[in-house]
Structure 1
Amino acid sequence: MSAAFAKLHSKIQEAIWNQQWDELRPLQVDAIQAVLDSNDHLILASATASGKTEAAFLPILSQLAAEPADSVQALYVSPLKALINDQFRRLEDLCAYAQIPVHRWHGDVSATDKQRLRKRPGGVLLITPESLESQFINHDRYLRRIYAHLQFVVIDELHSFLDNVRGIHLRSLLARLNIAAAVNPRRLGLSATIGDFAPAQAFLCADAPCAVRVLQDSSQQKELRVGVKAHVELPEAGESDERDPTSSSAPAGLAAIAEDIAQRFRTESNLIFCNSRRQTELLADKLRVLVEREHWPRNPFLLHHGSLSRELREDAERELKSGQPVTAICTSTLEMGIDLGAVRAIGQVGPTWSVTSLVQRLGRSGRREGEPQILRLYTLDDAVTEHSSLTDRLFPELIRAIALLELHREHWLEPPESDRFHFSTCVHQVLSVLRQTGGALAAHLHDVLCRRGAFQRIDQGQFENLLHGLAEKELIEQMQTGEIILAPTGERIVESRDFYAAFASRIEYRIEHDGQPIGVLSQDNIPAEGEFLLLAGRRWRVNLIDHGSKRVSVSPAKGWKQPQFTGGIGALHPVITQRMKRVLIDESGYPFLNIAATQLLAEARQVFVRADLNAHDAVISLNGVEWFPWHGSRVLLTLELCAKADGLKTDRDDLSIRYQKLAVADFVGHRARIASGAFTADQLMMLVPDLQRDRFDEYVPEALLRQAFVAEALDLPGAQMAAAAPEKG
């Protein structure tokens, strides 16, 4: 063992010896020295399954063993309850030798265990942001006692918190915890997928990002084996039922993907990621039909997504850890770092929308020493017909897949957004602080939440407008003493069961068969009684919908219809769309493509050349103009609003915006107006009928929502740049 090992407490050394470690990994050596020899905040960045958790906790536990205290001394924050349960077992093994208590706090932990922590706090506490929120709401009087000697906050999967609703919520809670418990703990962030460390450093320490030291281990890079198979979905193929086994025609589209998956993922443990719950259900159904048709002794394909019951998800996780040959068809629910054992390969049906997501999913395989990461990526574009748009003729899924893989090869990752106001989450935190304190002056609220808190982008004037809006909506009221308190409407919101989460929640109905939970569906996605649905990879008939109890009773069926789920559509960063254009321009081949993919790429390049899209980014036809800015999704939205401001009819897809029945001269004039700055942000935002995107936006004054929409959804400078781009040739 190294000199770093000698720095550890003897009981932690004993734990390492008893786990039969041969040596410490490089990141663990660096982290031990950085934690024990400095007071820096830290980011530990390395590949998945490289020992980041131990790198953080070996020195932390050594310090706790040497200086125990009668409060929680290390707080571990995770985005997932399942990840907390997984890490709890790992930390228990390390802590047992030093007799350091380890606690969990989330929705599935018993009230008895939570009460035990409140009475005798100590050691390490593992928690989600929502459960930390619940402590402020329900157990404020215990906060100082629980966290009086807090020395460390460890944030796992740090990238998943960077400047989104859960992230700003967590930042606010941690700032409030510092104030409530009078502590200033060191912060450690763990991640495998951060490209630009500056936003992550600002997340951990907004006042002094340079005080956050980055420890990066590049020695754990895995060999990557990639194969891309391209498929096209025939018109109406998604509505077809099981294939006639006597048919001589080869399966196409998703059916062909299912047959390939059945052949290649039948043995060992694997994960198949889809970009939507709808696609997971369709794929699982086709695999079930195939298994029954071929009379397999068992179905090795499981399902795992957010609309399934907790019981079914946990069953799938146990199966994956059992060592049996099973493959889970999943969404991002299994993207995080839950230890699922030896996952051999990753399948991806449809390219991800970001390189970050692709890297995260890749990290689920090859976790054992010496094993490669294996990815089989399936693209599913629409078959070209006489009605196909120019974008469809470019086979955008295939081109996006190539672009993502090339950017991954170059180690590029999307930077997190850093321009959001988060007014909705600020409303949530105003209500939370008022519930916690019973009442507060406006100046105190601004100090806790904005000046010393997470909402530093919201200035004092905007904050006052926000409070006035909440008063107009009767969520808060002001006493004669000047104190602001919760009004009855605000009280009801805070007392609701789902208040702890700052992100939006849907009205969901519980789907049951014989009283056993199968999953949940949002109210808008439930078929009528007597109709059919796909859920948990099986076909069901809806027997009874009880709107009072929000329960749906179903029974097994042979009929089915397309499942309806919200989500599944993502936004593309400008770097990705620009790389897609480069893929179409280049003449080079890609060794990871199969024959069909190579042929479709050649066809797409021919279409690109015939349309002269390298020299001209707009194509004129009898139906109007199709413009390819290649500047990402936000620019396309901005251009759509510019067209609306000029009274033009348009529709857009992931790559282009189409102007219907528009003369060339009119398009040229419209484009020149965009380039010259004729359209203002104030003008464009007035054209958006519904500015509400986050959970509490309905309580945010419209003027603030418009400011947020301009900053967070539009890219007027990018649109002007795209419009001013010179034509080649």
Structure 2
Amino acid sequence: MTGNDSAVELLNSRMKGFLGNRLKWKSLNPIQEQAIPVIKEKNDTLVIAPTASGKTEAVLIPIFDDIITNHLEPVSVIYVSPLKALINDMHERIENWCNHFNLEVTKWHGDVPGTKKRAFIKNPTDILLITPESLEVIFMNKSSEEKERIFKNVKYVIVDEIHYFVESDRGTQLNSIINRMKAYFNDSVSIVGLSATVGNPETVSKWLNPDKPAKIVTDPSKRPFDYKVLCGSDTDICEVLKRYVGRKILIFVHSRKDAERYYNLLKRALKIKNIYIHHSSIDRDEREDSEKKFKHLKDGFMISTSTLELGIDIGNIDIVVQIRPTYNVSSFLQRVGRSGRKSKKQRSIVFYKWDEEIFITLAEIGLISENRIEDIKIPEKPKDIYFHQMLSSIFEKGKIKQSELFNSLKDSYVFSKITKEDFKSIVENMEEREFVHNMNGNLSLGYNFEKKFGKRNFMSFYSVFCPNMEYTVREGVKNIGSLDLLFVVHFLQEGTKFILGGVPWIVKDIDHKRFNVKVQRGPKGNVPDWISEGAVVDHLISRRIYEILLGNYDEDLLKTFDEPSQDKIHEYIEHADSVGFKEGIIPVEIDSNQVYIYTFGGLKANALLSTIFRLYHDIYEVKDNAYFSSFKFRENLSFNMIQEVMANIKDVLNEPEIDTIIHEKSGKFVKNKFINYLPYEDNAKLKMELLYSPEDLIKLVSENSVELIGSTNFKDWR
């Protein structure tokens, strides 16, 4: 493998031989050409490139090259991944490289036998693949000597699928752990993040290194993106997919129930042999077996929930089919990016069911064409995870000075805005609750730490976070699907009826500690109180849909939409104009005693808006979605009264009563077990950040006037 003026010339001859002779590569991919020189210069680096673009190899090539050229001692690389399945997949890929170079790799997560972990502790390998929770276990359970043996020679920390981590509790935990690891490093370490989708890479680069933000490397090549958008009845879907038998197709659905239904439907209708199913309720071994078989097939169908959105290698995909669109641009890109590895062309077919899904799809495609993705939002002061990391650090050290503890945590980007006053307040609260004992400024663990988290409860201390803030829906012991956190907290309570997977359900119980919703089937023909798949369309897509309704979009994007969807789009645009939709306003419709406030601001903004109205007016039967905030009122609620509330949103959000409302509204929802150990004000603020979008709502009411309009068809949107 050669290449003048190419990054390949920077590589060791053994690495060149491996790429050319073993992998049969003739040249490097564009992202590899960009990333290799940056990583070889030992920069902290954020690599952003589509799925199947070669970004993983773009990181592995310079790192393996460094290991074999400079004979790095174990452990030289720690590779952190969010999911066990990704670690298992990556272990197989890296092991092939290691075997060639006479190196060793170890995977460490909850399913790995203790014997293998103990063997690693005694004789660390060159590369360690691990989850954040397992790193926490090492910090708390291993001696200083063992931790030094593991971490002292580390030269690289790789964070895979970094977008999945950064704005979550697990990401906050990981950022802190990476900072804590530095105490054991002998030399400087390069931290490398990988992602297919990041809307605000500058923020993520600071997450990797707040003092000297990571270098951002993006894929300069643009794989063409072909798509079709079609009406999606079961009959339509079967008819269309018949044409693609003999190709390799990945089909995404919204729920486990839909995965099972379409697996059986397509198997019968298309009479194909190579058809597989993939979701989180399937046994792990069976799931991995399906991945391996499908990976090596030249043709076949794989039906999956979001479990195959991330980078598990299932080979070259010809077309990605989406039965119902996803609800954010990032997921859309993750899915579509799985296609076209060989052809260099991404291809997708999107089937829609409801009218609004045509607009969601058009909004996503338009945003992709403009390279716009949702921003990752990192909590400003995540004091619940700070509380957790304080206890973990005290456990690790046995006893630690307050000043040392504060200084050791403040270097983490995620904790950099937490002040000494914040720290002292949390310590005082910990003392009152007997989680810590304070002797002349030296902190040690108190009685209630052992009581709450000791012995068998330690595992719940290591892993306390819901990874993607979704609730699992269960009928008895059977998993039905999942619902977004905000949907559950805002809309569901015992007795609420809703639809999931096309089936009506009634809520029996909500377990906020385990993120479970227990349900039973509703009566046949039952009309639900709230019809939804429990997903949340965010602010970016919602606002783009409003722009489309005003006619502000590229008509060329509609060329591959089927005729019914094009007609629907034009009909709604004409309707929006006729009822009074226009730029610079928030339309309001009053229908008898029902109000519809069409913010098109996303569910989090609209849920907050209805919550604010509850402060001042007697409202009930709240039915918010991404497009409007809607409720009924018992009093005479005039348009002027609505205008008055909307004009004072910013002031209202500064009033102390809003904290009480948030606590009442969120009910027993706990986010994680540590949030309820915080002072009242901190607890309320964290719940506000997670459940609502005050910034989006304030921006909307500041930039738009409120106008009364005529009766619309949009109130039927879900």
Do both proteins adopt the same fold according to a TM-score greater than 0.5, normalized to the shorter chain? yes
Match of 1:635 in 2: 605
Q: What is the CA–CA distance in structure 2 between the aligned matches of 1:722 and 1:25, rounded to whole Å?
A: 43
Measure, in 1, the Cα distance between the counterparts of 2:164 and 2:572: 35
User: Which of 367, 390, 394 is the matching residue for 1:407?
Assistant: 367
Q: Please tell me whether the aligned partners of residues 610 and 631 of structure 2 are also in contact (alpha carbons under 8 angstroms).
A: no
**1:657 aligned onto 2:629:** yes
Q: How does 1:19-168 map to 2 (within 5 A)?
A: 19-36=23-40, 38-141=41-144, 142-168=146-172
Instruction: Give, as a single letter, the amino acid of the residue that structure 2 aligns with 1:701.
Output: P
2:357 corresponds in structure 1 to 397
Letter of the 1:476 partner, please give it.
V
- The yes-or-no answer on 1:379 pairing with 2:382 is no
Secondary structure of the structure 1 residue equivalent to 2:638? helix
Cα distance between partner residues in 1 of 2:249 and 2:26: 28
Match of residue 350, structure 1, among 317, 324, 330? 324
Output aligned runs, 1:279-358, within 5 Å: 280-285=256-261, 287-289=263-265, 291-292=267-268, 300-323=274-297, 325-358=299-332
Q: Could you say which residue in structure 1 is the equivalent of 2:496?
A: none
User: In the alignment, residue 484 of structure 1 is paired with which amino acid?
Assistant: S
Preserved CA contact (<8 Å) 1:379 1:398: yes
Structure 1 counterpart of 2:339, one-letter code: S
Partner of 1:189: 193
Is residue 345–residue 365 contact of structure 1 (8 Å, CA) maintained in 2?
yes
The Cα shift of 1:264 comes to 5.0
Residue equivalent to 1:595: 563
Equivalence for 2:714: none
Structure 1 match to 2:715: none
Q: d(CA) in 1 for partners of 2:9 and 2:698? A: 60
Query: Aligned pair count?
Result: 649
Residue 161 of structure 1 deviates from its aligned partner by: 1.9
Question: Structure 1 residue 273 and structure 2 residue 275: aligned?
Answer: no
User: For structure 1, which segment, 169-178 or 304-313, has the greater mean C-alpha deviation from structure 2 after superposition?
Assistant: 304-313
| Match status 1:608 vs 2:576 | yes
Q: Structure 1 residue 569 and structure 2 residue 530: aligned?
A: no
Gaps in structure 2 of 5+ consecutive residues? 483-487, 489-498, 503-523, 710-718
Answering whether residue 625 of structure 2 is matched by residue 623 of structure 1, we say no
Alpha-carbon contact 1:176-1:448 (below 8 Å) kept:
yes
Task: Report the Cα distance in structure 2 between the residues aligned to 1:660 and 1:607, rounded to whole angstroms.
Answer: 24
Residues 254-307 of structure 1, C-alpha deviations (whole Å, 9 max, x = no match): x346534653564433222223x3xx4135325525644x5x766654332223
Query: Cα 1:290–1:67, aligned 2, differ >3 Å: closer, same or farther?
Result: closer
What is the letter of the counterpart of residue 619 of structure 1? Answer: E
1:385 is aligned to none
8 A contact 1:262–1:287 mirrored in 2: no
* Matching of residues 408-557 of structure 1 within 5 Å: 408-452=368-412, 454-479=414-439, 482-490=442-450, 492-493=452-453, 495-504=457-466
CA distance in 1, matches of 2:647, 2:205: 36
Residues of 2 paired with 1:460 and 1:313: CA distance? 48
Matching residue's letter, 1:305:
H
The secondary structure found in structure 2 opposite 1:631 is: coil
Question: 2: CA distance between counterparts of 1:197 and 1:266?
Answer: 39
Aligned counterparts of 1:619 and 1:429: Cα–Cα separation in 2: 49
C-alpha distance in 1 between matches for 2:626 and 2:580: 19
Query: Secondary structure, in 3 states, of the residue corresponding to 1:306?
Result: coil
Classify 1:670/1:140 alpha carbon distance in 2 versus 1 (closer, same or farther; 3 Å): farther
User: Within 1, Cα distance between the matches of 2:473 and 2:397?
Assistant: 35
Q: 1:702 aligns with which of 663, 671, 680?
A: 680
Measured in 2, the distance between the counterparts of 1:74 and 1:333 equals 26
Displacement after TM superposition at 1:567 (Å): 10
2:242 is matched with: 263
In 1, distance between residues paired with 2:106 and 2:231?
48
Contact between 1:171 and 1:203, CA under 8 Å: does it hold in 2? yes
- CA distance in 1 between counterparts of 2:299 and 2:450 reads 51
Question: Would the alpha carbon gap of residues 660 and 519 (structure 1) be closer, same or farther in structure 2, given more than 3 Å must change?
Answer: closer
Residues 470-511 of structure 1 show CA distances to partners (whole Å, capped at 9, x for unaligned) of 444444344577322143544652644343324138999999
Which sits farther off after the overlay, 323-332 or 353-362? 323-332
**Distance in 2 of aligned mates of 1:290 and 1:6:** 49
1:9-63 C-alpha deviation (Å, 9 max, x unpaired) = 2322221232221112233233332233x23211222222222122212221121
Secondary structure of 2:394 counterpart: helix
Name the stretch that deviates more: 331-340 or 469-478. 469-478
User: Secondary structure of the residue that 2:139 maps to in structure 1?
Assistant: helix
CA 453–444 in structure 1, closer or farther in 2 if over 3 Å, else same:
farther
Cross-structure match for 1:586: 551
Q: Which amino acid aligns with 2:566?
A: T
**3-state SS in 2 of match to 1:174:** helix
Moved more, 352-361 or 435-444: 435-444
Q: Does 1:214 align with 2:213?
A: no
The structure-2 alpha-carbon separation of the partners of 1:324 and 1:46, relative to structure 1 and needing over 3 Å to count, comes to: closer
Pair 1:179 & 2:183 matched: yes
TM-score, scaled to structure 2: 0.81
CA 1:126–1:396 in 2, change beyond 3 Å: closer, same or farther? same
How far residue 216 of structure 1 moved from its aligned partner, in angstroms, is 1.9
What percent of counterpart residues are identical? 24
Q: Contact between 1:272 and 1:346, CA under 8 Å: does it hold in 2?
A: yes
Assess if the C-alpha contact under 8 Å between 1:27 and 1:216 holds in 2.
yes
Instruction: Give the 3-state SS of the residue equivalent to 1:483 in structure 2.
Output: strand
* 1:595-636 Cα deviation digits (max 9, x unpaired): 221232233234323322227611232233311112333321
1:162 partner letter: V
The Cα of 1:342 is off from its aligned counterpart by 1.9
1:651 is displaced (CA, Å) by 3.0
Please tell me whether residue 224 in structure 1 is matched to residue 184 in structure 2: no
Q: Residues 504-551 of structure 1, C-alpha deviation per residue, up to 9 Å, x if partnerless?
A: 389999999xxxx997999xx9xxxxxxxx9999xxxxxxxxxxxxxx
Cα offsets for 1:165-195 (capped at 9, x unmatched) = 1211111110011124455311111222123
Secondary structure of 1:43's match? Answer: strand
Structure 1 residue 334: Cα displacement: 0.7
Distance in 1, matches of 2:651 and 2:581, equals 26
Q: Is residue 229–residue 349 contact of structure 2 (8 Å, CA) maintained in 1?
A: yes
CA distance in 2, matches of 1:452, 1:620: 49
Gaps of 5+ in 1: 232-252, 382-394, 526-533, 538-558
Determine helix, strand or coil for the equivalent of 1:60. helix
Label 1:49 to 1:183 Cα distance change in 2 as closer, same or farther (>3 A).
Answer: same
Q: Distance in 2 between matches of 1:138 and 1:10?
A: 42
Deviates more, 1:89-98 or 1:160-169: 89-98
Tell me the TM-score normalised to structure 1 length.
0.80
Q: Corresponding residue for 2:509?
A: none
Q: Name the CA shift for 1:567/1:103 in 2 (closer, same or farther; >3 Å).
A: farther
Counterpart CA distance in 2 for 1:536 and 1:11 is 53
Give, in whole Å, the separation in 2 of the partners of 1:704 and 1:567.
Answer: 32
Q: Which moved more, 1:657-666 or 1:593-602?
A: 657-666
CA distance in 2, matches of 1:609, 1:285: 40
Name the CA shift for 1:29/1:403 in 2 (closer, same or farther; >3 Å): closer
Report the equivalent of 1:687. 661
Cα displacement (A) at 1:657:
1.3
Query: Match for residue 491 of structure 2?
Result: none
Checking the alignment, whether the CA contact within 8 Å between 1:611 and 1:619 is kept in structure 2 is no
